[in-house]
Chain A
Amino acid sequence: MGLWDTITGRSKPKQANLDALFHVPSAAITLQTALGLTPTGDGSVCYRGAAGAGFATTQADLVALVSEGPDAPRVTTTTDEFGFTWLELDHDPLDPANPELTSLVTGLHAVNTTLEEQGFGPGLLCSLVPFVGADGRHVGLVYLYKQGTFYPFAPAGPQKRDNLLEMQVRDTLARELPMEQDLGRWFAIWGAPGL
């Protein structure tokens, strides 16, 4: 915030940064070759639903838009215990030999842009693309809309994170994606869909 905003006590809601999301498909290939983590093909967007009719119709239109088409994902919305909405895009399992995430990312982007067009961009919290290892470990690649950075989240049981795996993922992807440098921002998303 600048000096003038401080004096007038006016913080402007931060707009979401949507660009980096399109780098996810190539990062997924790197993760698969380097760490043996394959994408599950699903993905989700987490946002704060606003009060009122405007948001309700926006979300309904959004679900209709994304679930249109021949190979469209199944779309569900759930509200978590923090009052944030998770919009899940549930694709069929991918061909492990040739995982193709482009359609997922396009779907996620459609969600983001629709929310932003209707003025709900500041409500976007994060986006999640889950991966699973051959050994059954789960890692979510989380995109923070406000910072425009990614970080890994690897749950290893209730309230326990696999920090070593998370570090590995960060180092592997450091060249392809803007990774969040501040570890304090790697906040946990327990019970997120797909993990």
Chain B
Amino acid sequence: MARTRFAGDAGLSTRMTLVMFLLGALFVGLIAILIAIFPIQYAPFIGLIGLGVAWWQWYQSDTVAMKAMRAREVSREEAPELHGMMERLCVLADMPKPRVGIADTDLPNAFATGRSPDRSVVVVTTGILRRLDAEELEGVLAHELSHVAHRDVLVMTVASSAGIIASMLTRGAQYGAWFGGGDRRRGNDNNGLPIWLIVLVVSLVVYAVSFILLRLLSRYRELSADRAGAQLTMKPRALASALQKITGEINQIPTADLRQTQAMNAFFIAPAINGVSLRTLTSTHPSLEQRLEQLARIEAELGRPAD
């Protein structure tokens, strides 16, 4: 049996699974609290509405996202290179070819959406087409195709259902506050806190926790897509340079010769704040350094000498 050059990342999978477990627990916990404070018949009902909203978001994801980005689908005749590139990647990955869209904006970006691999669309902006060369663009497309293969739209939507319910409840509780606690007699009468206040606090807490967890999950999914994409094109470097161009953080790795920047060196105290800041907690994407580090590991794995 030939050895593989495409190792998975067990640590990443473990962390991801843990986060998803926590999100599931959050959902169950929220429903349990609702059952505890509401008359029994309401809680499952609210849960179902939340799931329905999540389902709708997932089901309509391709059309909604395309509209939001003002993207249009392009045919093979309009963009033969893009289609050709996509075709080869799909054959290489053995997956159905998604539709291809272009959004007319100078922001360099790309996204993949759609309810299933058979009904998905990969959209690139004109800005990214202008900035990247063919190899880098292929790296980006492979990253997006990995999102499709991993069913990230579905996973993220399911994962966000607790947050959706919580945000619905927050709004509902605010209405409850406005229309007065007049209904208090029906709840736990005069001695305790009004129900709407409990609901508000619980749903705000759930929403906050689910927000942080979702962002964490999103960063793990991005890292997985980077990994799978780089392994598909077998050119981690192309994706790395594309990321550097896109994120506009290219200046973090200086290209100027060290000797030329002697005068500046006094100021080069590396911003070594590596801890958890608010920015790293709430961003949907991992930092560029994290992504480049992972790509470098994949490149080393791919480039191992032959036996």
Contact = CB atoms under 8 A, between A and B. Distances in A.
28 contacts: A1-B149, A1-B150, A6-B155, A8-B16, A9-B155, A9-B224, A9-B228, A13-B6, A14-B92, A49-B234, A50-B302, A51-B235, A51-B237, A51-B302, A52-B302, A53-B303, A54-B302, A57-B306, A81-B134, A119-B5, A120-B234, A122-B92, A122-B232, A122-B234, A125-B92, A144-B91, A147-B91, A187-B91
A121 interface: yes
Given A54-B305, A57-B305, A83-B138, A8 B13 contact: yes
A125 B88 contact: yes
Interface of A: 1, 5-14, 48-55, 57-58, 61, 81-84, 116-123, 125-126, 144, 146-147, 159, 184-185, 187-188
Contacts of A120: 5, 234
Given A51-B234, A55-B306, 20 more contacts: A5-B150, A7-B16, A8-B13, A9-B225, A9-B228, A11-B149, A11-B228, A12-B6, A12-B8, A13-B6, A13-B231, A54-B303, A54-B304, A82-B138, A84-B88, A116-B2, A125-B92, A126-B91, A184-B96, A188-B84
Most chain A beta-carbon neighbours within 10 Å: one of B80, B154, B233, B306: B306
B87 A187 contact: yes
Contacts of B151: 1, 6
B139 to A, nearest CB: 10
Contacts of B85: 82
A48 B233 contact: yes
A6 B234 CA distance: 22
Interface string B154-195: 110000000000000000000000000000000000000000
B5 A50 contact: yes
Contact of B150 (A6, A49, A57, A159): A6
Contacts of B262: none
B251 interface: no
Contacts of A6: 150-151, 154-155
A148 to B, nearest CB: 10
Contact of B303 (A9, A52, A83): A52
Nearest to A182: B96
Interface of B: 2-6, 8, 12-13, 16-17, 20, 80, 84-85, 87-88, 91-94, 96-97, 134-135, 138, 146, 149-152, 154-155, 220-221, 224-225, 228, 231-237, 299-300, 302-307
B88 A187 contact: yes
Main secondary structure of the interface of B (DSSP, over half): helix
Contacts of B221: 9
A146 B91 contact: yes
Most chain A beta-carbon neighbours within 10 Å: one of B6, B224, B225, B237: B6
A21 to B, nearest CB: 16
Nearest to A119: B5
Given A1-B149, A83-B138, A146-B91, A55 B302 contact: yes
Which 3 residue pairs of A and B lie closest in terms of their CB atoms, listed nearest first? A52-B303, A9-B224, A119-B5
A9 B146 CA distance: 9
B230 to A, nearest CB: 9
B307 A118 contact: yes
A77 to B, nearest CB: 16
Nearest to A81: B134
Most chain A beta-carbon neighbours within 10 Å: one of B6, B94, B225, B302: B94
Contacts of B231: 13, 122
Contacts of B88: 82, 84, 125, 187
B155 A58 contact: no
B234 A50 contact: yes
A123 B234 contact: yes
A125 to B, nearest CB: 6
B8 A10 contact: yes
